[in-house]
Structure 1
Amino acid sequence: MAFYKALSEKSKTSEARSMAFYKALSEKSKTSEARSMAFNKGLSEKSKIKTSEARSMAFYKGLSEKSKVHGDDFKTR
């Protein structure tokens, strides 16, 4: 009977270790997911900046083209 009791205790310990292992994996997965989300958000922000810069450049290029047609020089004002 002591043998079975020892096996039962060992089984509980093994089960506890397994649960701790899977809990740690779950936490690591959450951390990894958070990192991925932060990375993707960073890419999105970087993309917005590039898009904004492109719009600004297009705007100023448009002004420059417009000034050539109308003879205005907006840069010297």
Structure 2
Amino acid sequence: MLHDLKIVVVMPAYRAEKTLEECFRAIPHDIVDAVLLVDDASDDRTVAIAQRIGIKVHRHPVNRGYGANQKTCYAAAL
């Protein structure tokens, strides 16, 4: 927590297995309270990787597109 504010990183994801871990490692975890990933029905290992490294995952059952994924990210963060 930073100055009584909660900091949440939201990660929209679709087929992100190749970049997810590197992106997660780049987060300044000393000031971030939570990391959320919204998976847009990826058919790769995105969800498994996110769960393995401790990211809370929200998943769309069908691909809804980038805009809908962003909306879910914002709703999940609040």
Bigger fraction of residues in strand? 2
Question: Scaled by the length of structure 2, what TM-score is found?
Answer: 0.20
Question: Scaled by the length of structure 1, what TM-score is found?
Answer: 0.20
Structure with the larger RCO, 1 or 2 (CA within 8 Å, 6+ apart):
2
